[in-house]
């Protein structure tokens, strides 16, 4: 290539001085004399080419393994985040569905008592007992109150979830946009002709952006922990609800008890419900002539558990005393024995 200013000469030198070169850095030997810069700043083409290659080699610009490694980390992070969020959403969906199904199932159990049995004279004793309990014990009103309470809680959880997701999304977009804009500006500066140095202000800004990313990461961790706590709370409430519903259902279970009294030395077998109390059994035993006397002079002995219940504790229901293994295909032996304060103390102190 021939020199623009001395057309008879070939371009053989490059100006590497840190200034705005009026010769566009390409020059011939005559240009070098006229340019007025230190001769050390004007180098032969081959030498400049070799210097550039060495500089590239020094900084390993062809080696993109660090970029590839970081790219893989970023993809793994996004994949892990997506998986974590999906797991959380699956847990929440499952929890909500279980809650809805359980409440709906219990609601239908009440309506089915009437819809499936239009003739009350022909329904079973257990179903009739349920209807009587609805009339006498206000079970239906208690269920409606509890159902509404859970529906309100579910509505509050949904509203909280929507607000948290929106706030989290806005925070994430803001932080990432700031970070991306920062790198866009820096790449633009590095591509310009003017050399760029990482001064104190630039380093401080970089540290601020990095701190923002760390804060975003901590926010994500905190939100995840908060959400896990909310899921655990809902799960515990769901377990409590299930226990309450199971207790209602188990209350209809028929158990067989053989009762003996010290006052008559007579025993008899009765069919009781788990929802029945010790007091109910005592009244039945008195009516059937099994026991005679005042409840104050006796207590109920449960031999299988080695426990005595004084008359002050007779409000306890059988479902609070026995587990399924105690009564399934078995007869429970009970005894009204003479009340002995000293013996009773020993039993309770030994527990």
DSSP 135-161: HHH-HHHHHHHHHHHHHHHHHHHHHHH
Across 179-205, average pLDDT: 60
Please give the angle made by the CA atoms of 228, 233 and 238, to the nearest 5 degrees.
Answer: 120
In this prediction, what percent of the chain has a pLDDT beyond 90? 14
335: left (phi over 0), alpha (psi -120 to 50) or beta: beta
* Dihedral (Cα; 238, 239, 242, 246), 10-degree rounding: -170
Quote the pLDDT of residue 190: 55
Across 332-342, average pLDDT: 80
Q: CB within 8 A of 49, min separation 6: which ones?
A: none
Per-residue pLDDT tens for 175-191?
777 777 777 776 666 55
Q: Phi/psi at 174 (nearest 5 deg)?
A: -65, -50
CA terminus-to-terminus distance, the chain: 106
Instruction: State how beta strands 254-261 and 331-338 pair.
Output: parallel
Query: What is 254-350's CATH topology?
Result: Ubiquitin-like (UB roll) (3.10.20)
Lowest mean pLDDT among 4-18, 89-103, 186-200, 220-234: 186-200
d(CA 300, CA 282): 9
Greater model confidence, 102 or 278? 278
Q: Coil, helix or strand for 21?
A: coil
What is the largest distance, in Å, between two alpha-carbon atoms of the chain?
140
Helices (runs of H) and strands (runs of E) counted in the chain: 10, 8
Quote the pLDDT of residue 112: 76
Whether pLDDT at 195 is above 50: no
Max mean pLDDT range (111-115, 296-300, 336-340): 296-300
Whether pLDDT at 95 is above 90: no
Pair 262, 335: CB distance under 8 Å: yes
Element (H, E) at 105: helix 65-115
Per-residue pLDDT tens for 158-169?
788 788 878 877
Domain ranges in the chain are 13-58, 66-250, 254-350
Per-residue pLDDT tens for 44-93?
989 989 888 888 878 776 777 777 888 888 888 888 888 887 887 788 78
């Amino acid at each position: 290539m021939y020199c623009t200013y001395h057309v008879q000469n070939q371009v053989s030198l490059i100006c590497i001085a840190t200034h705005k070169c009026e010769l566009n850095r390409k020059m011939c030997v005559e240009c070098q004399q006229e340019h007025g810069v230190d001769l050390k700043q004007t180098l032969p083409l081959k030498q400049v080419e070799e210097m550039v290659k060495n500089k590239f080699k020094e900084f390993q610009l062809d080696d993109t393994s660090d970029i590839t490694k970081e790219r893989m980390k970023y993809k793994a992070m996004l994949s892990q985040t997506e998986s974590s969020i999906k797991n959380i959403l699956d847990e929440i969906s499952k929890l909500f569905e279980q809650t809805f199904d359980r409440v709906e199932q219990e609601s239908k159990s009440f309506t089915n008592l009437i819809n499936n049995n239009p003739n009350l004279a022909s329904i079973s004793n257990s179903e009739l007992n349920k209807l009587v309990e609805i009339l006498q014990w206000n079970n239906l009103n208690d269920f409606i109150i509890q159902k509404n309470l859970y529906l309100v809680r579910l509505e509050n959880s949904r509203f909280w979830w929507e607000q948290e997701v929106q706030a989290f999304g806005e925070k994430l977009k803001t932080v990432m946009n700031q970070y991306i804009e920062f790198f866009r500006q820096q790449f633009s500066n590095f591509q310009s002709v003017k050399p760029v140095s990482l001064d104190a202000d630039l380093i401080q800004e970089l540290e601020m952006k990095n701190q923002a990313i760390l804060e975003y990461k901590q926010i994500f961790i905190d939100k995840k922990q908060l959400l896990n706590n909310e899921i655990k709370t809902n799960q515990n409430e769901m377990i409590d609800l299930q226990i309450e519903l199971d207790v209602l259902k188990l209350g209809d279970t028929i158990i067989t008890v053989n009762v003996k009294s010290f006052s008559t030395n007579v025993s008899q077998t009765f069919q009781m419900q788990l929802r029945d109390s010790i007091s109910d059994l005592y009244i039945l035993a008195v009516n059937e002539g099994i026991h005679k006397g005042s409840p104050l002079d006796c207590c109920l002995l449960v031999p299988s558990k080695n426990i005595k219940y004084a008359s002050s504790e007779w409000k306890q229901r059988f479902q609070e005393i026995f587990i399924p293994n105690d009564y399934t295909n078995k007869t429970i032996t009970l005894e009204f024995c003479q009340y002995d304060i000293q013996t009773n103390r020993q039993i309770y102190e030994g527990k």
